[in-house]
Amino acid sequence: MGSSDAPVLIVGGSLVGLSAALFLAHHGTPCTLVERHPGTSVHPRAVGYYPRTAELLRQVGVEESALREAAGYATHRTRAGVTSLAGEVLFSSEELAGDDGLGDLTPSRLLLLPQDRLEPLLRERAAALGADLRFGTELLSFAEDPEGVTAVLADENGTRTFRTDWLLACDGPRSTVREALKVPRQGRGVLSHHVSIAFRADLRTVLGDRRYSVVHVKNPQVTGILVHDDTLTGGTLIVGYRPEDGESLDDFTDARCAELVSAAVGAPDVPVTIRSRFPWDMAEQVAEGFRHGRILLAGDAAHVVPPTGGYGANTGIADAHNLAWKLALVTGGTAGEGLLETYDSERRPVAAYTAEQGSLQLAVRSGDATEEQRAAAADALTVTMGQAYRSAAVVPEAGAGARPAPGDPRTLRGEPGTRAPYVRLAREGAPVATLDLFGDGFVLLAGDRGGAWLTAAADASAQLLVPITAHRVVPGGGGGADVLADPEGLWAERYGVLSGGAVLVRPDGVVAWRSRGADPAGAGTATLTEVLRGVLARG
Q: What is the pLDDT of residues 333-392, one digit of tens each?
A: 999 999 999 999 999 999 999 999 988 888 887 777 888 888 888 888 999 999 999 999
- Nearest Cα to Cα of residue 384 among 55, 103, 53, 67: 53
Average pLDDT across the chain, whole number: 91
More confident residue, 253 or 399: 253
pLDDT of amino acid 290: 98
User: Of 3.30.430.20, 3.30.450.20, 3.40.50.720, 3.50.50.60, which CATH number belongs to 6-73+113-184+288-383?
Assistant: 3.50.50.60
What was the pLDDT predicted at 81?
Answer: 85
- Residues forming beta bridges with residue 430, ordered by sequence position: 427
Q: pLDDT band for position 87 (50/70/90)?
A: confident
Torsion angle (degrees, nearest 10) of CA 360, 361, 367, 370: 30
Q: What single-letter amino acid sits at 92?
A: S
The pLDDT assigned to 61 comes to 96
Q: pLDDT band at residue 446, thresholds of 50, 70 and 90?
A: very high
63-91 average pLDDT score: 80
Q: So what's the pLDDT on residue 192?
A: 87
Task: Please count the helices (runs of H) and the strands (runs of E) in the chain.
Answer: 14, 25
C-alpha distances in angstroms, 49 versus 200, 269, 311, 409? 23, 34, 8, 17
Q: Is the pLDDT of residue 226 over 60?
A: yes
Higher pLDDT, 98 or 198: 198
Under 8 Å between Cβ of 530 and 461: no
Is 95 a residue whose pLDDT tops 80? Answer: no
pLDDT > 60? residue 75:
no
pLDDT given at position 1: 43
Mean pLDDT lowest among 63-77, 296-310, 473-487, 506-520: 63-77
Residue 30's Cβ-count burial label (10 Å; 0-12, 13-18, 19+) is middle
**Is pLDDT at 204 greater than 50 in this prediction?**
yes
Determine what percent of the chain is predicted with pLDDT higher than 90.
71
Q: Do 6-73+113-184+288-383 and 390-535 show the same overall fold?
A: no
Cα 81 from Cα 83, distance rounded (Å): 7
pLDDT category at 480 given cuts 50, 70, 90 is: low
**C-alpha 74, offset from chain centre:** 23
Q: What local confidence, expressed as pLDDT, does residue 476 receive?
A: 87
**Is a pLDDT exceeding 90 seen at residue 18?**
yes
Closest CA to 410 of 104, 145, 151: 104
Q: How far is CA 478 from CA 27, 28, 424, 449, in A?
A: 32, 34, 14, 15
Give pLDDT, residue 307: 84
Q: What dotted CATH number matches 189-282?
A: 3.30.9.10
Mean pLDDT of 194-214: 89
**pLDDT over 70 (residue 11):** yes
pLDDT of residue 99: 47
Query: How far is it, in rounded angstroms, from Cα 220 to Cα 89?
Result: 15
Q: Distance (Å, rounded) from C-alpha 499 to C-alpha 453?
A: 12
How far apart CA 27 and CA 60 sit, in angstroms, is: 9
Q: What is the mean pLDDT of residues 455-484?
A: 90
Region 312-341 average pLDDT? 97
pLDDT for 97 beyond 50? no
Strand partners, 227: 236
- Nearest residue to 53 via CA among 40, 38, 36, 70: 70
The yes-or-no verdict on residue 410 having pLDDT over 90 is yes
| pLDDT band at residue 73 under the 50/70/90 scheme | low
Mean pLDDT, residues 508-537 taken together: 93
Domain 390-535 -> CATH class: alpha beta
- Which sequence spans correspond to the domains of the chain? 6-73+113-184+288-383, 189-282, 390-535
The least confident of 190-194, 294-298, 388-392 is 190-194
Lowest mean pLDDT among 151-155, 175-179, 191-195, 343-347: 191-195
Q: Which residue has the higher pLDDT, 242 or 340?
A: 340
Between the two ends of the chain, the Cα-to-Cα distance in Å is 22
pLDDT band at 96 (very low <50, low <70, confident <90, very high): very low
- Determine the pLDDT at residue 399: 77
What was the pLDDT predicted at 94?
Answer: 62
Lowest mean pLDDT among 114-118, 330-334, 492-496: 114-118
**Which residues have C-beta within 8 Å of that of residue 355, sequence separation ≥ 6?**
187, 284, 285, 286, 303, 304, 305, 306
Which three-class secondary structure string do you get for 88-146? CEEEEEEEEECCCCCCCCCCCCCEECCHHHHHHHHHHHHHHCCCEEEECCEEEEEEEEC
Which carries the bigger pLDDT value, residue 153 or residue 370?
153
Range with lowest mean pLDDT among 96-100, 127-131, 142-146, 148-152? 96-100
Asked if residue 98 has pLDDT above 60, the reply is no
Residue 460: HSE in the Cβ half-sphere, 13 Å Cα cutoff: 26
Residue 460: is its pLDDT beyond 70?
yes
Mean pLDDT of 234-262: 91
Asked if pLDDT for residue 92 goes beyond 80, the answer is no
Helices within 296-422 (DSSP H only): 312-331, 341-366, 371-376, 380-385
Q: What is the mean pLDDT of residues 206-228?
A: 88
